[in-house]
Amino acid sequence: MTAHDVQSILEAEPAAQLLRSPLMARLAYTWTDGTPRVVPMWFHWTGREILMGAPPNSPKMRVLTDGSPIALSIDTDEWPYTVLSIRGTIACKTVDGTFPEYVEMARRYLGEEGSQHFLAAARQTFTRWVRITMRPELSA
């Protein structure tokens, strides 16, 4: 499947609707002992990449590094279920403070007032964040 094919699928409904939704993504990755892990994550769709964020000292960041393979699921919980399952590798960049897309994620998930409170507390707790970038790869 070409990059163009992947992009076409992600721009079509219902994938585009899921990528715009306030649903959490479920991030799947492999732990140090080879066993699978799944955690809920806020995400931001740029139109080409999925961005997520995490404190550098969070457990997942012990194993997630540049080039790590991951899978994401974004899905509804009402029948008929709608599911977007994506795989890819990630790039990780540690930044001082939060990054602009993380602020957008906080607004999307918590609203304006809730995001202000959350981000104020997060800035006091974490001075650095990891910006996790995933370019989706769909397999045939």
What does the pLDDT read at residue 12? Answer: 79
pTM of the model: 0.90
- The CATH number, out of the four listed (2.30.30.90, 2.30.110.10, 1.10.150.170, 3.30.70.141), of the domain defined by the range 3-96+130-134: 2.30.110.10
Residues of the chain with pLDDT under 70: 1-5, 138-140
What does the pLDDT read at residue 8? Answer: 78
User: Which residues face 130 on adjacent strands?
Assistant: 54, 94
What does the pLDDT read at residue 117? Answer: 95
Q: Would you list the domain boundaries of the chain?
A: 3-96+130-134
Question: Nearest 5 degrees, angle CA 55-CA 19-CA 85?
Answer: 85
Q: Which of 54, 50, 41 is nearest to 98 (CA)?
A: 54
What does the pLDDT read at residue 1? Answer: 63
